[in-house]
Amino acid sequence: MKKQMDKLKKKTSSNKRIIIFLFGLFMIGLIAGSLFVTIISKTDQALVKEYVKEFIARIDKGKLNYIDAFKNTSISNITFLIIAWLLGLSVIGIPIVIFMYFSKSFILGFSLSSFILQYKAKGILVAIFYFFPHHIINMLSYTLMMIYSLKISYVLINSIIKKKSINFKPIMNRYLMILGICISMIIVAALYECFIVPFIIQKFIGVLS
């Protein structure tokens, strides 16, 4: 156990700059998404409120197709991971994956604020049940993928500039393993989001009345 912890600490230390950068980017995206709800027009705010209200009503009445929701959520998030993974193998991947990561945190902030916009203080309770812990798992999987995607893209650029050869076999083996881990995390999060979260919200739906 101690050996594994030491290995984890070493990995974290070597990726410290990337982790700090991604954390800062996540916070900026989250705040920007949260504030965006407050600056859009009243008409758009009304549309957001109506969408949230209809969504909660569908959960309350059991009208959600859980299987389709699971498929759509899984496919969408796995596609995101695969695109980020592939971009890590290119020299143009860095700015694109940074934007992709920012967009995920922006959407999360926007979604959280949408519930608060509709239900005020009570919306915080709904947001907690609807977004945690599965969205934390999602963001951790995105972050893990981004760390390795950025690292490999940087290694490629560095090797081209310095004209160095790279032994890609161990790098690709590790990179494929990271993709597998991230996809597994996404699937677990999707299962919780689509089959457990609606049940929890149904139990607390009376709070919103």
Per-residue pLDDT tens over the stretch 42-98: 888 888 888 888 887 787 777 778 889 899 999 999 999 999 999 998 878 889 999
Per-residue pLDDT tens over the stretch 168-207: 788 889 999 999 999 999 999 999 988 888 888 777 766 6
Please write down the HEC assignment for all residues of the chain: CHHHHHHHHHHHHHCHHHHHHHHHHHHHHHHHHHHHHHHCCHHHHHHHHHHHHHHHHHHHCCCCCHHHHHHHHHHHHHHHHHHHHHHCCCCCHHHHHHHHHHHHHHHHHHHHHHHHHHHCHHHHHHHHHHHCCHHHHHHHHHHHHHHHHHHHHHHHHHHHHHCCCCCHHHHHHHHHHHHHHHHHHHHHHHHHHHHHHHHHHHHHHHHHC
Q: What is the pLDDT of residue 158?
A: 81
Least confident of 13-17, 30-34, 91-95, 194-198: 13-17
Q: Count the neighbouring beta carbons within 10 Å of the beta carbon of residue 189.
A: 22
The answer, yes or no, to whether residue 30 has pLDDT greater than 50, is yes
Q: What is the pLDDT of residue 73?
A: 92
Q: What is the pLDDT of residue 5?
A: 45
At residue 13 the predicted structure's pLDDT band, cuts being 50, 70 and 90, is low
Query: Which has more pLDDT, 26 or 169?
Result: 26
pTM: 0.86
Q: What is the pLDDT of residue 9?
A: 53
Q: What is the pLDDT of residue 12?
A: 53
Q: What is the pLDDT of residue 118?
A: 81
CA–CA separation, 169 vs 149, rounded Å?
16
> How high is the mean pLDDT of the chain?
85
The answer, yes or no, to whether residue 112 has pLDDT greater than 70, is yes
The answer, yes or no, to whether residue 138 has pLDDT greater than 50, is yes
The answer, yes or no, to whether residue 8 has pLDDT greater than 70, is no
Query: Which has more pLDDT, 143 or 203?
Result: 143
Q: What is the pLDDT of residue 25?
A: 95
What are the structural domain ranges in the chain?
2-208
